[in-house]
Amino acid sequence: MKPATRSKKGKPGSTWWRWPVVIFVLILLSPFYYGYILNGFTGAWRWIRDIGNDPNYRAYKSYKIRIPAGYQIHGIDVSYAQGKIDWHKVRAMEDDSVRVGFAFIKATEGLMLVDSYFKRNWREAPKAGITCGAYHFFRPKKAGLWQARFFLQNVTMERGDLPAVCDIEVLDGTSPEAMRKELKAFLKHVEGKTGVKPIIYTSISFYKDYLDGYFDGYPLWIAHYYQARLKMDGSSTWRFWQHSDKARVNGINHAVDFNVFKGDSLTFQRLLVK
């Protein structure tokens, strides 16, 4: 009998054809592959969803608000109204490179009121890596100098903190002239004791009605909600913009104000207490 002839397709047991299959299967099973596909799909979906919307005012599902585009540094401001906060969860939250980097924390109001959560927030937020600043809710009927002293009795500012903030939103039945006199006394005393110009917080309407032209040189923090742009004179000294009062942030069980900083990280660092 003639010996059996072998097929010319290859030696018995050859596995050359298996390697492409194995590599293909490994790629399909790789989390990096699915991450790449998922990111591509997410980006495409965001692009489709944003068609027809203002590109300068994008929706962020995680925060449940729209956030003005073009800003690198974002933050919140809190008081007793937000309750007990898990600051590590706040810091860990991120949506498309937007995360909380700073927080303004209410400290005092008038001549007698200390925010019930101030000490805890002032202690815990920096531990999570959040840059903090303290604010005082100003009452125009009370002496500005004494309000400044009361604020500084309750707030110990350190190197790396944001400057002190004076929150002025109401006249409380006083005249604009009387309000400005007491506000000036507050600002001068705090600046003298801390060596840093305080930030003035107010609404865009209050600023235009009562403050514009009277406190030039002081950094401004302006409240102006649900807009793609802050409608302020380009020559104004605003540094912070509170653009929403209904953000949702991990670690906080209540709606919270959301802010942006005007400038890059170097400008932000220059603003801090030295």
Active-site residue set: 77, 169
Residue type, 102: F
Say how far residue 40 (Cα) sits from the centre of its chain.
Answer: 27
Residue 133: strand, helix, or coil: strand
Query: What's the helix, strand, coil split of the chain in %, to 5?
Result: 35, 25, 40
Cα 64 to Cα 47, 61, 88, 90, 155, distances in angstroms = 18, 5, 20, 15, 32
Cα 112 to Cα 150, 182, 190, 218, 259, distances in angstroms = 8, 17, 17, 26, 28
Residue 221: strand, helix, or coil: strand
The C-alpha atoms of residue 59 and residue 29 are separated, in whole angstroms, by 33
